[in-house]
Structure 1
Amino acid sequence: MGGRIRALRKQRGWGVQQLADAGRVSRRMLTDIELGQANPSLATVDRVARALDTDFAALALPEDDAAGPEVEGTLVWEAPDGSHALLLGATQDPRAELWRWTLAPTGRYDAEPDRRGAQEIHHVLSGRLTLALETGPQVLGPGQSAVIASDQQYAYLNEGAEPAVFVRVVTGA
């Protein structure tokens, strides 16, 4: 992803500081992202993508199927505890993203608000997922689903003893 960001930045004739300013990210963070030495938040990558007139999925997904069908998705986020998020696919119009998340026991991901009107659909495959929302927590078990507005502060938590595995669909972000 860092290589794509650098290539798009150079195509525009922008320096690192110019893209950092446009994407509301520090120059240091942008440099680390381009070098593959950072684990930026999904919102940070999204801001950089918008500054480059593209979207998150265009930066994160492989450009072709050269990896073959055995690849489940593109690893976009991971934490030291083994929690991770895979981007499985995306559409442009309407804009939607399909994700598979795994949160280790006691794992947490703090999200930043998306654009006004954006939504997420969550479907739990195994474990228990707590959605920490401004209106209060919502707990989902295996086979349960929920739709939330993602234009608010929210977080994903696993307060259980086994990994929480869930599918996430993002629309309008």
Structure 2
Amino acid sequence: MQTPRRDVLVHVGENLRRLRQAAGLSQTALAEASGISRRTIINLEAGEANVSLSGLDRLAEALGAGFVDLVAAPAASTHDIGAVAWRGSAPESEAVLLGSAPARSEVQLWSWALGPGERYDAEPDPAGWHEMVVVTGGRLRIERDDGPVTLETGGHATYSSAQTYAYVNAHDGVTRFIRNVVS
């Protein structure tokens, strides 16, 4: 993730502390269970740290919670979350978690925009996770371990996200796409 702004992951600290305490875990125990450093957990709870989206997934799993439980406002409906969870360096670049629905574990619906020259590098998700992407404007290149794919407006791809991958704006304007994460 890039430099945080006030609206990015605004509820993580409060939610993380609440969920950790409800699970009866110390910060040290959560660090051991998630693979996220204790220092990062302390700073996240204080609202002073940034963490990758996959780091949030690992924290949620260690807490027996969902990703949405960490990032959404406590009173938010899972069908209308509207949480900005990532911003790039270009003002047009952001990822907004729109909603979530149950699957084996969870399904997440995202609206993404990447400004010219922008990219987002992702860490592999756990085995069994997948992504479904549809481009609504511009041209998106998805660089994956199993080979890159370039999608024009209207194009789509479904693939395992249990691999290193990146979203790259392959267009001179803003590229917009919808992303579903299925776990």
- Give the TM-score, by structure 1 length: 0.88
1:145 has 2:124 as partner = no
The equivalent of 1:157 in structure 2 is 168
Q: Give unpaired runs (5+ residues) of structure 1.
A: none
- Deviation at residue 65 of structure 1 after TM alignment: 4.6
Q: Residue type of the partner of 1:129? A: L
Q: Report if the CA contact (8 A) 1:87-1:99 is conserved.
A: yes
Assess, with a 3 A threshold, how the Cα gap between structure 1 residues 170 and 7 changes in structure 2: closer, same or farther.
same
Deviation string 1:30-62 (CA, Å, 9 cap, x unpaired) is: 122222222311100000001100110122223
CA RMSD of aligned residues (A): 1.8
Q: Distance in 2 between matches of 1:81 and 1:31?
A: 29
Q: Distance in 1 between matches of 2:123 and 2:29?
A: 23
Q: Report if the CA contact (8 A) 1:61-1:89 is conserved.
A: no
1:133 has 2:144 as partner = yes
Q: Report if the CA contact (8 A) 1:102-1:166 is conserved.
A: yes
Q: Residue type of the partner of 1:15? A: S
Q: Give unpaired runs (5+ residues) of structure 2.
A: 1-11
Q: Please, which of 65, 75, 86 is the counterpart of residue 96 of structure 2?
A: 86
Assess, with a 3 A threshold, how the Cα gap between structure 1 residues 38 and 78 changes in structure 2: closer, same or farther.
farther
Q: Residue type of the partner of 1:16? A: Q
Deviation string 1:111-130 (CA, Å, 9 cap, x unpaired) is: 11112222111011111111
Q: Report if the CA contact (8 A) 2:139-2:150 is conserved.
A: yes
1:114 has 2:117 as partner = no
Q: Residue type of the partner of 1:135? A: D
Q: Distance in 2 between matches of 1:60 and 1:92?
A: 16
Assess, with a 3 A threshold, how the Cα gap between structure 1 residues 117 and 131 changes in structure 2: closer, same or farther.
same
Bigger shift: residues 141-150 or 34-43: 34-43
Q: Residue type of the partner of 2:148? A: P
Q: Distance in 1 between matches of 2:36 and 2:112?
A: 25
Q: Percent identity?
A: 38
The equivalent of 2:48 in structure 1 is 37
The equivalent of 1:54 in structure 2 is 65
Aligned residue for 1:136, secondary structure, equals coil
Q: Residue type of the partner of 1:126? A: G
Q: Distance in 2 between matches of 1:164 and 1:21?
A: 39
Structure 1 stretches of at least 4 aligned residues deviating more than 6 Å after TM superposition: none
Q: Distance in 2 between matches of 1:134 and 1:87?
A: 25
- Give the TM-score, by structure 2 length: 0.84
Q: Distance in 2 between matches of 1:51 and 1:16?
A: 12
Q: Report if the CA contact (8 A) 2:15-2:69 is conserved.
A: no
Q: Residue type of the partner of 2:63? A: L
- Deviation at residue 13 of structure 1 after TM alignment: 3.1
